[in-house]
Amino acid sequence: MPKKRPKQQPLDEEPPKKTIYTIKLTDEQMQQVKQWCDKRLWSFYEVDHALFAFKGDKINIVGYKSGKLVVQGKKTEDWVTYVLEAEITNTPLLGYDDIHHPEWFETHAGLDESGKGDFFGPLTVATVIADRPMIEKWREAGLQDSKKITSDAAILKLDKLICGTKGVVVKRMAFGMPKYNELYGKFGNNLNRLLAWMHKTALEAALQERKVPWGMLDQFSKTPMVQRQLKAPDFELRMMTKAEADPVVAAASVCARAEYVRRMNKLSEDFGEKLLKGASAQVRKQGEAIVEKYGKDKLGDFAKLHFRTAYQVLGLPVPEKKAWNKGE
């Protein structure tokens, strides 16, 4: 008998609809959403830190005190398109990224870092080079909300997806804590100089694998420190704050953060307790516990010694902040 031909996927088949959508609303817009749900007698339910939460037909809507609105369910796209955008925000955004930000879908590089504001663990940077098919695949997997992901496990899972994508270029840079503290001194005790050099090094390594005309950097300095050092005359490095809106920068953010998480897990294992992120009072207590357990000279094996917290833990006077230099 002749073999059956495999069923082909229709070329014009639409991508799956979004089942979750997040947007920041004004207080007035948030009240309009609540009133809309109230009028239709949708079921109200309790959610922590929420102003309201409603269940509709195949859709849940939660408005948080922070101004964030989360829409979730099979009818997410319909409600966002025909109610939220048509009646409340009057701004079509869902599905219009191609129109509003066509550059996001061009083949380009994205650069970001992680760990800069954390006492424990290293500074990590990543450069990702990606093209449109990769970008679309990652966005469907939730990449666009990378900064809102608080779970380390979710970040590691997304990192695995990105790095496992055929053709992607991912270059990371990080150091063990003793080396990091040594380099900080060698760069004149200037964190931005060190960060710029790390970004430049990772970017040049990525461009060796795939040449692209431009890239986007999540801005950390008022001046183009990375561009000035870069040995790639035909490459344009753009900078902006909150650059993770660009999906390739978001991918770099995930990759840098995943590396930070892995290194923090190893440090936590060495310490015998999960080390906390940030530079809170609880973090300071953990620093004091490290000194008590291993001695003052071992704090630099776990922490950034230029942080104010390090001076406090070691009982040293905190140095005054250096005046800002407009050349940095």
User: What is the spatial distance between Cα 72 and Cα 66, in angstroms, rounded to a whole number?
Assistant: 18
Instruction: Specify the higher pLDDT residue, 321 or 160.
Output: 160
User: What is the spatial distance between Cα 319 and Cα 296, in angstroms, rounded to a whole number?
Assistant: 18
User: What is the spatial distance between Cα 66 and Cα 24, in angstroms, rounded to a whole number?
Assistant: 8
User: What is the spatial distance between Cα 80 and Cα 94, in angstroms, rounded to a whole number?
Assistant: 7
User: What is the spatial distance between Cα 223 and Cα 48, in angstroms, rounded to a whole number?
Assistant: 42
The predicted structure's pLDDT at residue 255: 97
pLDDT, tens digit, for every residue of 87-142?
A: 898 876 655 455 456 787 899 999 999 999 999 999 999 999 999 999 888 877 77
pLDDT, tens digit, for every residue of 36-62?
A: 999 999 999 999 989 999 999 999 999
Segment 63-77 shows an average pLDDT of 91
Q: Where are the domains of the chain?
A: 20-95, 102-266, 269-314
Beta bridge partners of 304: none
CB 170 within 8 A of CB 162: yes
Segment 311-324 shows an average pLDDT of 81
Q: pTM for the full model?
A: 0.71
The predicted structure's pLDDT at residue 229: 85
User: What is the spatial distance between Cα 296 and Cα 327, in angstroms, rounded to a whole number?
Assistant: 35
User: What is the spatial distance between Cα 122 and Cα 307, in angstroms, rounded to a whole number?
Assistant: 12
pLDDT, tens digit, for every residue of 149-188?
A: 778 998 999 999 999 999 999 999 999 999 999 999 999 9
pLDDT range class, residue 265, cuts 50, 70, 90: very high
Superfamily per CATH, domain 102-266: Ribonuclease H-like superfamily/Ribonuclease H (3.30.420.10)
Joined together, the tokens standing for residue 152 give: 């380390």
pLDDT range class, residue 13, cuts 50, 70, 90: very low
CATH of 20-95, one of 1.10.3720.10, 3.40.720.10, 3.40.50.970, 3.30.310.10: 3.30.310.10
pLDDT, tens digit, for every residue of 274-299?
A: 999 999 999 999 999 999 999 999 99
User: What is the spatial distance between Cα 104 and Cα 216, in angstroms, rounded to a whole number?
Assistant: 10
Q: Is 273 helix (H, G, I), strand (E, B) or coil?
A: coil
Q: Is 217 helix (H, G, I), strand (E, B) or coil?
A: strand
Joined together, the tokens standing for residue 135 give: 């970008």
Tokens 């906390």 -> residue: 276
